[in-house]
Structure 1
């Protein structure tokens, strides 16, 4: 059954806004397990923990598990906002639709669409590079793995393959994700088990989880910001909400399940790594700067031996590949939603007659990623690194806005029940405030000229890229407004039908 033929029957939840029908996507393509797999894959767990745990340990030492726990809190609170908004407005445009409905077309286009698109675009360039480097290494082509041009070309080939796969449809993409995700989890838990059972490994201590033991606000904030990046990406699963078996319930459940699975995986890996390798600054120690951006490469050989260490390398490779695939799936559907609501050209709403996927949006985003990768690489390899570091600022921006959108959207329902007050009001509000604090702290840190690899006129390149990406959205939105004035006049009420509460005068 397609969305075109679905009936919206009245019932206890009739007050909620129905999902816009008629986009042409294949409903029922993904169940709960598939949605969870997409959410986990989009975070690239093996890649994310590999490139971040060393940096966190260098910042807070043995308190890395505590940082992972604290960094999870704003993510969980924001996840509640995503769940509640999806129940009320299940639309593949997610943050675009929700922020438009809450704050209007300007906020919806800029914060709900442009900012997450830029964050995903920067992340995609990194994923293409990482997957290419690891693939060449696994194949024994170490010389090519150290060649920038060869890595870029290989990354472009992998990106093209992922784009073709995403275009073919969710059923194929989800099936591939099961295999890729399974390899990642087996590799991480296998390495963790080997570390725990290794003679001489330190016994885990509760002091490693103490949130009050950080040495000052600076290290605490920096570690939490790093952990924010580790968890980012699970929201991609919500973009397939119109293709799940139960559009207004399954994605919300999958959001919470995937975030808790991530927490358990990361904590298990971190505790095992700290116990086995320690936090020293030499050898395999997690505090060694040489291990900062890939602690798995340092730990896997002595723990598992050469052959199994290659499996871990392969896991990081497929981790980046699976995240790249999920990003393409989500971004194509985001463009589809913008087009269906009159905020992008109609061509972005074109659905492949056989695969029932947003072909134009998917291919466009794949091509945009390829162009961005080549431009940043030609400009300077350091620009590419700083673009990746700026993602944290963009994440905090649109996650925080979406949390506040939840509170504002349901402001008239908060007195209906204690549950509504807690999950639609208090928890999302706290999540939004924490994201704003992370945004402010990250912007403050990024201004420093020595933050990252580049600077201009005494201002850090990471800050300029992050803030510049947001600022660039302003003229883009002006152009969109000139092209699609009707959306900017009627978008707030047209993205979904007003509820009975919102129809009351002076309360819309």
Structure 2
């Protein structure tokens, strides 16, 4: 009897009207344009300036464009599910809130906890990447930071990455003033970043040598570390390596409670940003491997700038890299917006301390933002986080699998206790299964270390859920109160 009650509590489903009421206090100011900028700014971030060259050299050769394309197809399948979910349930917290409503509290917590890893680490990842690129720009001018202030603790003699700290604080202060102001900054920076990418593509087209594309899919052989290079195996390895490039569309869904007319805004923002991102990723990949032999990009941390300089365009290299550094702010804005809304959702539901779910006088979840900023500073500025990088993909893919399967539980409730969404995932019931299988295939392709880190994070999440969340959950308390009322009748 006790076990039955225990599992019943774990599988309690949240009433969507509760989320609708609680999130109604958030300011609904974001438009399709804002979400497109948010999505493109988050997706097309640090990775577009680094990963095409790295993955080409280590896994796919010139076929790196196919790796990006396959990863985009996987992301696209899941994006259809996200578009329907966010249209039917425009709640803060995205996958966490959705799964809470359709599968129950425990599964919602697992999905949300997986996403939280993404946001924590992504904030640190982007901040540190921005720091490295910024230092690379100012060092030729004779402005060199001391080693102790240039790298994370224990890395190259570093103690703290000062630039990463400053960047996270600046973005936190910007977001604390409100999402509409942050959205305006985001829109401007995204335009600049896209222009810089297009500048690289158009200039790079003049330096392409067709011989660099041959063979387009190199012959397969294992790398020294056991990973695959060449053949379809190399393309698959490339997909798993670059999938983190496409995870940004979740940041759109996390802010759906602040959207104007979310039924239309959310699908357009999610799918539109993904389409734009795919075009940019594939274009940069094809141009980059056409300019120089793919092997030239091995261990190159800034392949875009290097390719431009080596092809005789040093001034354009400086322009593109400068805009790239500024543009990385857009990814940080997107991740910190989404992460703070997820933390707010946990506090809103009592899964974490309820003060995280409080709003200030301007209806902003700034307490959650402060916590996210502090964690981002610690991870990005103090601890070496390279070993955690793939956890971004691992955690996100777990959430993607939940959301894909969630469509099967969502459809029967649409038009009943949930509104009829303006967008529905096509080819139902086949496409949700394809989205799940595709996400699982990418997850399976991650290295064993990433899967282990995901397991450790999962265990940590279980400890918090059973040790705190389950006992303090507002959903559980309401259910218990209702049961007591019925007993006393």
Aligned to 1:47: 46
Tell me, in whole angstroms, the C-alpha distance in 1 between the residues paired with 2:437 and 2:171.
36
Query: Which of 409, 413, 426 is matched with 2:430 structurally?
Result: 426
User: Does 2:136 match 1:137?
Assistant: yes
Structure 1 residue 408: Cα displacement: 2.6
Per-residue deviation, 1:340: 3.0
Are the equivalent residues in 1 in contact too, given 2:45–2:330 (CA < 8 A)? no
Contact 1:194 1:304 in 2 (8 A): no
* Paired residues, number: 439
Q: Measure the CA separation in 1 of the matches of 2:28 and 2:129.
A: 33
Q: Which aligned pairs between 1:463-478 and structure 2 lie closer than 5 A?
A: 463-478=451-466
Going from structure 1 to structure 2, the CA distance change for 1:38 and 1:399 (only over 3 Å counts) comes to same
1:61-81 residue CA offsets vs partner (Å, 9 max, x unmatched):
111111111111110010010
Partner of 1:394: 395
User: Cα deviation per residue 1:296-316 (whole Å; 9 max; x = unaligned)?
Assistant: 131122346333212222233
Q: Which residue of 1 aligns with 2:258?
A: 243
Helix, strand or coil for the counterpart of 1:390? Answer: helix
Structure 1 residues 95 and 185: CA distance shift in structure 2, 3 A: same
* Deviation by residue 1:329-376 (Cα, 9 ceiling, x = unmatched): 11222222333334333312222213x311111111111212233552
Which secondary structure state, in structure 2, belongs to the residue aligned with residue 63 of structure 1? helix
Residues 234 and 259 of structure 1 are in contact (CA less than 8 Å); yes or no, is this contact kept in structure 2?
yes
- Partner secondary structure for residue 91 of structure 2: coil
- 1:139 to partner: Cα distance: 2.7
Residue in 2 that maps onto 1:116: 115
Q: Hey, what's the Cα distance between the residues in 2 that align with 1:490 and 1:84? A: 29
Q: How much does 1:25 deviate?
A: 4.3
1:166 alignment counterpart = 175
TM-score (norm 2): 0.82
For the Cα contact (< 8 Å) 2:212–2:291, is it kept in 1?
Answer: no
The alpha carbon displacement at 1:485 in A equals: 4.4
| Structure 2 match to 1:57 | 56
SS of corresponding position for 1:92? coil
1:300 aligns with 2:308: yes
Counterpart for residue 454 of structure 1: none
1:175 matches 2:189: no
Cα distance in 2, alignment partners of residues 338 and 139 from structure 1? 40
| CA displacement at 1:97 relative to structure 2 | 1.2
Q: For structure 2, list consecutive stretches of 5 or more residues without a partner in the other structure.
A: 1-15, 152-157, 221-228, 483-489
Counterpart-to-counterpart distance in 2, 1:17 and 1:251 = 19
1:194 matched to 2:194 = no
Partner of 1:336: 344
> Relative to 1, partners in 2 of residues 1:304 and 1:86: Cα closer, same or farther, differing over 3 Å?
farther
| Deviation of the 1:432 alpha carbon | 1.0
Q: 1 CA distance for matches of 2:431 and 2:56?
A: 29
**Alignment map for 1:4-403 (pairs within 5 Å):** 20-23=20-23, 25-43=25-43, 45-58=44-57, 59-111=59-111, 113-140=112-139, 143-144=144-145, 147-148=150-151, 149=158, 152-198=161-207, 201-202=209-210, 215-216=230-231, 218-279=233-294, 281=295, 285-286=296-297, 289-291=298-300, 293-303=301-311, 305-354=313-362, 356-376=363-383, 381=384, 384-403=385-404
TM-score normalised according to structure 1 size: 0.79
Q: Helix, strand or coil for the counterpart of 1:21? A: helix
Tell me, in whole angstroms, the C-alpha distance in 1 between the residues paired with 2:258 and 2:413: 30
The alpha carbon displacement at 1:266 in A equals 0.8
Is residue 480 from structure 1 mapped to residue 468 from structure 2 by the alignment? Answer: yes
Shift of 1:424: 4.9
Instruction: Specify every segment of 5 or more residues in structure 1 that has no aligned partner in the other structure, as ranges.
Output: 1-15, 447-459, 495-508
Question: Closer, same or farther in 2 for the Cα pair 1:254/1:206, shift >3 Å?
Answer: farther
CA gap 1:432/1:228 in 2 versus in 1, 3 angstroms: same
Helix, strand or coil at the partner of 2:209: coil
Q: CA deviation at 1:48?
A: 1.0
Question: 1: distance between equivalents of 2:188 and 2:312?
Answer: 22
Aligned-partner Cα distance in 2 for 1:257–1:123: 22
Residue-by-residue CA offset, 1:89-108 (whole Å, 9 max, x unaligned):
11012101111122211110
- Residues 32-65 of structure 1 show CA distances to partners (whole Å, capped at 9, x for unaligned) of 111110111122x242112211232121111111
Task: Give me the CA root mean square deviation.
Answer: 3.0
Question: Residues of 1 paired with 2:373 and 2:115: CA distance?
Answer: 15
SS at match of 2:50: helix
The 3 A distance-change label for structure 1 pair 343 and 304 is farther
Greater CA deviation, 150-159 or 269-278? 150-159
Contact 1:348 1:361 in 2 (8 A): yes
Q: Deviations over 1:207-255 (max 9, x none)?
A: 9599x9x955532321111231111112101222122221222011110
- The whole-number CA distance in structure 2 between the counterparts of 1:116 and 1:47 is 19
Q: Deviations over 1:363-394 (max 9, x none)?
A: 11111212233552xxxx3xx11111332222
Distance (Å, rounded) in 2 between the aligned partners of 1:490 and 1:434: 38
